Amino acid sequence: MTDAMTNAPRKIIIDTDPGQDDAMAILLALASPEEIEVLGITAVAGNVPLALTEVNARKICELAGKPQVKVFAGCDRPLDRALVTAEHVHGQSGLDGPVLPDPTMPLQAQHAVDFIIETLRDAPSGSVTLCALGPLTNLAMALRKAPDIAARIREIVLMGGAYFEVGNITPAAEFNIYVDPHAADIVFKSGIPLVVMSLDVTHKALVTKPRNDAFRAIGNAVGIAAAQMTEFFERFDREKYGSEGAPLHDPCVTAYLIAPQIFTGRHINVEIETKSELTLGMTVADWWGVTDRAPNAMFMGTIDADAYFALLTERLARL
């Protein structure tokens, strides 16, 4: 979906904690310059600590053959609680599976939060979309530090939360929201248009064996690495869910920018639980419209998974 007025590619910042599925989301964006212009990639602590996520982000850019992309390091811990990581899913590096060389492209000196603020202030209002693939710490910090940017953001498309699927890191919460519920609360209360790719969507986007084989069959370095990455984190989810493959969460965000028609959802009210020990980080989604709370998010619930994997395979072949 290019910019409707100009047909120019949509300008985005990708905020991320790579993560194999983050990597796939970034590769999809970098493979789609007709629809997406990546202004920068901002790393945050999440799946693994920041020192690894910023390196992983650069490894992915180099894998894509795009070392000119600017990568920034952001917050190394959530706003108000200790960092929870997910090495049990993603491996010690966060990107286990393929062996990728250490990056030679530089990390930008500017802090990710300042990059986000500066970019939004410099660009025409309403022209920049934020894509969030990890805990929302960097975005919330930017909104706290520079509240004026809220009105300048076109929309935030994020992976996080759940309604029907409830939780994956606790019985009640999805990982990205659970890691920094206070940041999520700031983002969901910001009034910025939100598109939410919840577990209700991503649990329908499973990397089955034929889909994994299709990545490998691309035959280029990216396709082979994609197959190795999805194979690696599949082992955990297969055991956990007993499903035929693991959910490929984060590329739903960048796929939405290219093919929004493959998703359906409802514009509803979503609030974040920040106090309860039992349900911390729960996305309390008013799917059935039982309150009079104003809608604040387009909360996605379905995906055409065949179209999604066809898009990914076709685009990764371009890199």
Q: Does 56 bind ligand BDR (CB under 6 A)?
A: no
Active site residue 249: yes
Q: Does 283 bind ligand BDR (CB under 6 A)?
A: no
The C-alpha atoms of residue 128 and residue 255 are separated, in whole angstroms, by 17
Mark the segment that binds ligand BDR (CB under 6 A) among 14-22, 73-81, 223-231, 278-286: 14-22
Q: Of 106, 158, 168, 108, whose CA–CA distance to 137 is shortest?
A: 158
Q: Does 19 bind ligand BDR (CB under 6 A)?
A: yes
Contact pick of 86, 143, 186, 207 for ligand BDR (by CB under 6 A): 86
Q: 3-state SS string over 158-208? A: EECCCCCCCCCCCCCCCHHHHHCHHHHHHHHCCCCCEEEECHHHHCCCEEC
Nearer to ligand BDR, 12 or 149 (CB): 12
Q: Does 168 bind ligand BDR (CB under 6 A)?
A: yes
Contact pick of 53, 85, 176, 230 for ligand BDR (by CB under 6 A): 176
- Of residues 232-261, those binding Ca ion (CB under 5 A): 250
Contact pick of 58, 66, 249, 315 for ligand BDR (by CB under 6 A): 249
Active-site residue list = 249
Binding site for ligand BDR (CB under 6 A): 19, 21-22, 47, 86, 89, 133-134, 159, 168, 174-176, 249-250
Binding site for Ca ion (CB under 5 A): 17, 19, 22, 133-134, 250
